[in-house]
Structure 1
Amino acid sequence: MKTLVLGSTGLLGQEMAREVRRRGHLLREAARCGATIALDIADDGALDAVLAAEAPDLVVNCAALTDIETCERDPLSAWRTNARPLAALALWSRRTGGRLIHISTDQYYSGGGAVAHDEKAPVSFFNEYARSKFAGEAFALTAANTLVLRTSIVGIRGWERPTFAEWAIDVAANDRPATVFSDAYTSSIDVIAFARAALDMVDARATGLFNLAAKEVYTKEDFVREIARQLGTPLTAATAGSVRTLDTRRADSLGLDVRRAETLLGNALPGLAQVVASVLRQYNETNRHELPDIASHRHA
């Protein structure tokens, strides 16, 4: 199977590419920079040209504009990256019969606390990021061979600015002062478990909309404290804060009900402790011994 990973240099794209390679697929990688194929998916003509030249059997779309503040300041860029390219990808799928995996988001729910939302739960839009990602879902699902996965992922990127997980490890390992959100609920899954499960779902011929995330709902504070517990380090300098203090409004009840995915896969998805253990293993494997001192920055 020839698989084209879009956004292959990002946090999830890197792991999806590794998992594709592990499975023996013919891998092609595309991203704005650092990949074999230079591609900005906001460029309609360039995207069409890559699809025509590569003729993949499967496209995995990990490319996105994920910075919520940037999306809020520049809704057009959010639309051009998170929504419009999915119309072209769906058209490609309908014309060729090629399969498409589109990675979506969990940023649609608020006010429910630790509720796990299933795929039929009503959605709300609190910012331009959520609006553009939902539009991308709608475009993608016009093709019968599309699998849309709502998720939240954590992991080690190893370049650019630190990810939330890299920041959290730095805070926990060094007992740094930090604000951790006690009212931001999530079902974030580690990128390794996500990539494996996503491609297993492709092998199972899954199509349509699925939640693919951790099986537990927990807070961002819980995540940091679990890192400290597994590292055996104190966490005395961190204080609980509220996601509502951020400038751009964000959804805060992002738990996902993953029972449909678990039934399809035939196995349980990881819980918080397993997610953290995987992230720590990934961190150790990168041989990163020091992270930038960014603990004063409040992460969503």
Structure 2
Amino acid sequence: MKLLLLGSTGLLGRAVAEEARQRGHALREAARRNAEIALDIADEKALRQVLATENPDMIFNCAALTDIEACERNPLDAWRMNARPLAFLATWARESGGKLIHVSTDQYFTEGDGEAHDEMTSVSLVNEYARTKFAGEAFALTAANALVLRTSIVGIRGWEKQTLAEWAIDVVLNDRPAQLFADAWSSSIDVGNFARAAFDMAGADATGLYNLAAGEVYTKEDFVREIARQLDLKLTTATSGSVRGLATTRAHCLGLDVTRAETLLGRELPELPEVVASVLHRYNEISAHDLRQLAPHRNA
């Protein structure tokens, strides 16, 4: 199968590319830079040209403007990256009969604390990121053969700005002072497990809207402390905090109910300990140092 991967150089795109190659797909990778196809999906003409030239069987869209503050500062840029391209991708899917997989977000819920929200739960769009991603979902779902996946991901990138997981590992290894959000709930899944499950769902001919995330709702603080637990380290300077003090309003009750995805897959999705174990394993793979050597037994 010829697969066109949009946003191939991002955190999730790299994991999807790796999974695609393992499954034997004829992979073509597109991104704004450092990819075999140079493409800014906000450029409508360029996007149309790539679709016509590549003629893929499947498009996997991981491209997005995910910086919430940047979306607030530049709402037009957010629209041009997170929403408008999906109109063209959906048209391609309808006209070609090809499969469209679109990665959405969990940034839609402001009530319920640790509640797991299913696909039918009403959304609250409190910032430009959420508004434009929700519009992108709507465009994508106009194609009957589109699969839209709401999620939150964690993983190791190893370059540019630290990911949440890289920041958390640094906090734990160095016992750094940090504010850990005790009221920011999510079901974040590691990128490797997400990619495997997404391709399995596509192989099962899934269409429509699905939650694809961890099988457990937990807080950002829980995530950091689970890293510390698995490394057998203590956090002596980290404190609990609240997302309500952040400059940009954010949805914070982001747990996702993954029952429909688990039913389709015929297996349970990973809970927090497995997510963290996968993240640490990947960190070991790409780090110049092994975590087991770096982690001193400060608990002794």
Q: What TM bracket, shorter-length normalisation?
A: over 0.9
Structure 2: which amino acid aligns with 1:195? A
**Aligned mates of 2:129, 2:290 — CA distance in 1:** 32
Tell me how many residue pairs correspond in the alignment.
291
Residue-by-residue CA offset, 1:167-212 (whole Å, 9 max, x unaligned): 0000011111111100000000000000000000000000000000
Q: Which residue of 1 aligns with 2:237?
A: 237
Aligned twin of 1:107: 107
Pairwise mapping of residues 78-157 of structure 1 onto structure 2 (< 5 A)?
78-157=78-157
In structure 2, how many angstroms separate the alpha carbons of the residues matched to 1:165 and 1:110? 23
Aligned residue type for 2:12: L
**Residue type of the partner of 1:166?**
E
Provide TM-score, normalisation by structure 2: 0.96
Q: Which residue of 2 aligns with 1:57?
A: 57
| 4+ long deviations beyond 3 Å | 288-291
Change (3 A) 1:285 1:3: same
| Range 172-181 or range 281-290, more displaced | 281-290
In the aligned structure 1, how far is the partner of 2:48 from the partner of 2:225? 45
Partner letter of residue 236 of structure 1?
T
Q: Distance in 1 between matches of 2:19 and 2:33?
A: 20
Q: 1:68 to 1:290 in 2, by over 3 A?
A: farther
SS of the residue 1:66 aligns to: coil
List gaps (5 residues or longer) in structure 2: 292-300
Partner of 2:167: 167
> Is residue 36 from structure 1 mapped to residue 36 from structure 2 by the alignment?
yes
Q: Distance in 2 between matches of 1:290 and 1:108?
A: 37
- How much does 1:144 deviate? 0.7
| Paired-residue identity, % | 71
> CA separation in 2, counterparts of 1:107 and 1:288?
34
User: CA offset at residue 290 of structure 1?
Assistant: 10
Structure-1 separation of matches of 2:157 and 2:276 = 15
Shift of 1:287: 2.0
Q: CA deviation at 1:236?
A: 1.0
Query: Which residue in the other structure is 1:257 paired with?
Result: 257
The question of 1:227 aligning with 2:227 is answered yes
Shift of 1:289: 3.6
TM-score, structure 1 as length reference? 0.96
- Structure 1, unpaired ranges of 5+: 292-300
Any idea what SS the aligned residue of 2:221 has?
helix
- 1:130 and 1:287 map into 2 onto residues whose CA distance is 33
